[in-house]
């Protein structure tokens, strides 16, 4: 089979999920070819932005090279992941013309939101739902008229020509919440969805979270991830908090005696960060579709405090693998941080539940089996 994907300039969970799926399939003996582009190759400045805009609408060179790869490799199935901006969804009709079924992983809300996250002006936004992609331009969702036009127009073009609906046999989402969103807001028939949780590297052993030295947060330092909620809650709870990510580029970088910013340079360092935590906090204020960092921390036996929003209410089982709180509620989060800090047995019990949940949901074997079942459905065009 052929996997087509465009890596993001800043990396992230979708890129990690794509690579992990390819790894699992190859280890299972599946013949996998890759057609990849990387947004880090886009030139800086106006030239790069114009090029990305044009290729997002129709990536002529990529479509031509993709078609040649189809003819040379002759895959039984094509699995596409992120296609913007250097591949574009115009590769999908090339598959249909050759009678090759397409499965598509949906890691975000690109089909109903040009900026992919349904987040604008500090809160959840569904203005573009129902094909109103022009709202992205009117609201200037990207904070740049040029970028907002680019994002809005490429969604409008894909919708106008039915590039996804006509050519994708099966939409693969990491959670039931994400699948239900496609059905309710993107006119995708439920029969054309499949839920395959992201695969996580599960360590051989766990830690005793009650011995953890700080509350942990890891992820991109962007507003929708709720980092400010986590920092303020830790302050009110009078607890140390560790924040892993690219701290030096965080506009409100402000380490103090209770707040420690950590730059993790590889997976091993990130794992050590998780393993030093009493609990992991995921304070997102947008509709996460999965939350890979949640599962990663849980794999080490660390309980999670997560917002009751989007898929997080599915990936963190309240009272079993962690505790949920209302999005943006600093006082409730502070209270639950303090509860896990002071109640060692509750911390350990939820940590055991977290590990058990990840083992059943995110193992290589489970991911492989569900993915192969999804491919069979796509090839039968059920």
In a domain, 131, yes or no: no
User: Which residues lie closer than 8 Å to 63 by C-beta, 6 or more apart?
Assistant: 88, 90, 91, 94
Helix segments in 161-194, DSSP class H: 176-185
What Rg value do the Cα atoms of the chain yield, rounded? 21
pLDDT value of position 220? 79
178 and 223 housed in the same domain: no
User: Which residues lie closer than 8 Å to 143 by C-beta, 6 or more apart?
Assistant: none
pLDDT value of position 248? 55
Sheet holding 78-80, edge to edge: 33-38, 2-7, 78-80, 102-105, 170-173, 193-195
178 and 280 housed in the same domain: no
175 and 44 housed in the same domain: yes
In a domain, 140, yes or no: no
- Answer whether residue 87 shows pLDDT above 90: yes
How would DSSP label each residue in 234-252? HHHHT--EEEES-GGG-TT
Cα 183 versus chain centre, distance: 19
275 and 371 housed in the same domain: no
Query: Which pair of structure tokens corresponds to residue 332?
Result: 């409730």
372 and 329 housed in the same domain: no
172 and 247 housed in the same domain: no
Burial class (CB in 10 A: 0-12, 13-18, 19+), 255: exposed
pLDDT value of position 142? 93
pLDDT value of position 120? 93
**Looking at residues 157-169, what average pLDDT do you find?**
96
In a domain, 256, yes or no: yes
pTM over 0.75: yes
- Please count the structural domains in the chain: 2
pLDDT value of position 251? 59
253 and 173 housed in the same domain: no
Name the residue with tokens 């011995």: 211
SS3 content of the chain, % helix, strand, coil (to 5): 45, 15, 40
CA distance 307 to 330: 11
Q: What is the CATH number of the domain that holds 89?
A: 3.40.50.2000
Rounded to the nearest 5°, which phi and psi values hold at 243?
A: -125, 115
309-330, pLDDT tens digit by residue? 999 999 999 999 999 999 999 9
What band does 247 get if pLDDT is binned at 50, 70 and 90?
A: low
10 and 86 housed in the same domain: yes
| Cβ-contact 329, 285 below 8 angstroms | no
Report the 10 Å Cβ neighbour count for 30. 14
Query: Which pair of structure tokens corresponds to residue 16?
Result: 């990690």
| Coil, helix or strand at residue 290 | coil
Least confident range from 28-37, 111-120, 187-196, 257-266: namely 257-266
pLDDT value of position 53? 83
CA dist 252 to 220, 221, 255, 331, Å?
13, 10, 9, 21
CA distance 19 to 21: 6
What band does 45 get if pLDDT is binned at 50, 70 and 90?
A: confident
248-266, pLDDT tens digit by residue? 556 565 667 787 777 777 8
| Cβ-contact 45, 20 below 8 angstroms | no
Beta strands in the chain (DSSP E): 2-7, 33-38, 78-80, 102-105, 119-120, 123-124, 170-173, 193-195, 214-218, 241-244, 259-262, 277-282, 304-307, 322-325
274-305, pLDDT tens digit by residue? 999 999 999 999 899 999 999 999 999 999 99
**Looking at residues 118-131, what average pLDDT do you find?**
93
185 and 236 housed in the same domain: no
Q: What is the residue range of 30's domain?
A: 2-111+164-199+364-380
């Amino acid at each position: 089979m052929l996997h087509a994907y465009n890596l993001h300039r800043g990396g992230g969970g979708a890129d990690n999920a794509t690579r992990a799926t390819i790894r699992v399939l190859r280890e299972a003996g599946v013949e996998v070819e890759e057609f990849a582009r990387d947004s880090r190759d886009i030139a800086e400045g106006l030239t790069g932005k114009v090029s990305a805009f044009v290729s997002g609408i129709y990536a002529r060179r990529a479509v031509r090279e993709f078609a040649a790869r189809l003819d040379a490799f002759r895959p039984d199935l094509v699995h596409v992941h992120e296609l913007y901006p250097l591949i574009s969804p115009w590769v999908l009709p090339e598959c249909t013309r050759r009678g090759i079924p397409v499965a598509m992983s949906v890691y975000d809300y690109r089909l109903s939101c040009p900026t992919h996250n349904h987040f604008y002006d500090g809160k959840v936004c569904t203005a573009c739902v129902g094909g109103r992609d022009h709202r992205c331009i009117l609201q200037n969702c990207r904070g740049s008229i040029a970028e907002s036009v680019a994002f809005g127009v490429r969604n409008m073009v894909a919708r106008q020509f039915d590039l996804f609906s006509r050519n994708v046999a099966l939409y693969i989402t990491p959670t039931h919440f994400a699948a239900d969103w496609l059905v309710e807001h993107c006119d995708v028939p439920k029969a054309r969805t499949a839920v395959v949780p992201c695969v996580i590297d599960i360590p051989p052993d766990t830690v005793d979270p009650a011995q953890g030295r700080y509350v942990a947060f890891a992820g991109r330092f962007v507003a929708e991830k709720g980092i400010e909620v986590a920092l303020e809650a830790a302050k009110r709870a009078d607890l140390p908090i560790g924040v892993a990510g690219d701290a030096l580029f965080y506009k409100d970088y402000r380490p103090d005696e209770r707040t420690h910013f950590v730059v993790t340079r590889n997976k091993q360092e990130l794992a050590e960060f998780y393993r030093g935590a009493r609990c992991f906090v995921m304070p997102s204020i947008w509709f996460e579709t999965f939350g890979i960092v949640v599962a990663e921390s849980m794999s080490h036996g660390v309980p999670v405090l997560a917002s009751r929003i989007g898929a997080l209410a599915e990936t963190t089982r309240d009272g079993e693998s962690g505790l949920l709180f209302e999005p943006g509620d600093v006082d409730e989060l502070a209270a639950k941080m303090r509860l896990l800090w002071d109640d060692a047995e509750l911390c350990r019990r939820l940590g055991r539940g977290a590990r058990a949940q990840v083992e059943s949901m995110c193992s290589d074997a489970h991911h492989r089996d569900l993915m192969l079942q999804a491919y069979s459905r796509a090839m039968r065009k059920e």
